[in-house]
Structure 1
Amino acid sequence: MPKNSFWQWYVSHQVGTGSGISAMPSMHVSIAVLIALSLDHLNRFMGLPGWFYVFVMQLGSVHLAWHSAIDGCVSILSTALIGGAVGCWQSTGYKREGGKGDNPWQM
């Protein structure tokens, strides 16, 4: 039923509640923020293009009607908060049980 409804809305160019596909938070914007945070962590200068990409992704996702503006804002905020929490957790010197040294990727 929903598949047929989406198709009917599309071919008739109707817009209404439930006629689009959107999810909160926007994973497009969230991944862009994650990349920007990573680049910014490596080098502030390298982070500038990453943050510009976040801006373009947010603007594009709203303009192309993939998401509403609040979806991207929630993505930016939640990704930054999760990234900050993970950074604080890593700075505490967490080590896995049975780990071999300081490299968390080493098995």
Structure 2
Amino acid sequence: MELREFRPEIPCIVVANKIDADINATQKSFNFAKKFSLPLYFVSAADGTNVVKLFNDAIRLAVSYKQNSQDFMDEIFQELENFKLEQEEENVPDQEQNSSIQTPSEAAASPHS
């Protein structure tokens, strides 16, 4: 798994879809999931079997990972995100000032001028 080679702690799941088409699908063995010790979900997008559970668990894993990550790359991404937010906050006063300045034609048309 190339993803885990670069991000060993990132949550991954394996999904076996179309269990509605194969009655014995849930009895099959999936070596990929076993080999990498990944959770395996049997779902049917057609009839909705386990779809909500899959998404709830995926979201829970993602949030937990984001809140508890010790991955160096995540620290870098967080710093970049913080830097971007700081830049946006610095630009807000300029935007507010620009929005309050009216052109002469706007001032003449505005009854509040």
TM over 0.5: no
Report which of the two has the higher share of helix: 1
Q: Please, what TM-score do these two structures have when normalized by structure 2?
A: 0.29
Between structure 1 and structure 2, the one with the greater Rg is 2
Q: Which has the higher contact order (CA 8 A, sep 6+)?
A: 1
